[in-house]
Amino acid sequence: MRGVVLYGALGKFTWRMLATVLASQGLVIFLAALVARGLADAEGDSGGARWLWTGLGLAVLCFLAAGLMRRPWGVTLGWVIQAVTLATAFVVPLMLVVGAMFLILWVGSLVLCRRVEDQVAERERQASAS
């Protein structure tokens, strides 16, 4: 897949879409952290606060990464967040579904937005040539 990158500068449209995915993901992770704390409390586990703070940290990391998408390593940080989000399924099993959905959005944004940017650039080249 040509559009999938692990590191490097992105076009304006691509990094904006990826930032939107990460910001949305941060909101969902924040809510999942609340669920993880509630589940731990309901099961009598004393680690509820730990799961809450871990989830809040990951949510904040999502928001920071959304702001850093312009940097070449921003997309790498986004990939790390996708992997960590999938790993949260060990705490809240339904996060596997949520993580998979955000991974699909992430990869889809990388591929489709790069394709759109390539088409726009080609149209601009054709317009300037004629």
Residue 6 has pLDDT above 90, yes or no: no
The CA distance from 56 to 26, in Å, is 9
Q: What is the pLDDT of residue 68?
A: 95
Domains in the chain: boundaries: 12-129
- What is the sign, positive or negative, of the torsion defined by CA atoms of 112, 62, 12, 9? negative
The CA distance from 80 to 106, in Å, is 12
- For residue 68, what are the contacts with CB-CB under 8 A and spacing of at least 6? 74, 77
- The 10s digit of each residue's pLDDT in 38-50 is 999 999 988 889 9
Assign 58 a pLDDT band (cuts: 50, 70, 90).
very high
pTM over 0.95: no
- The 10s digit of each residue's pLDDT in 86-110 is 999 998 899 999 999 999 999 999 9
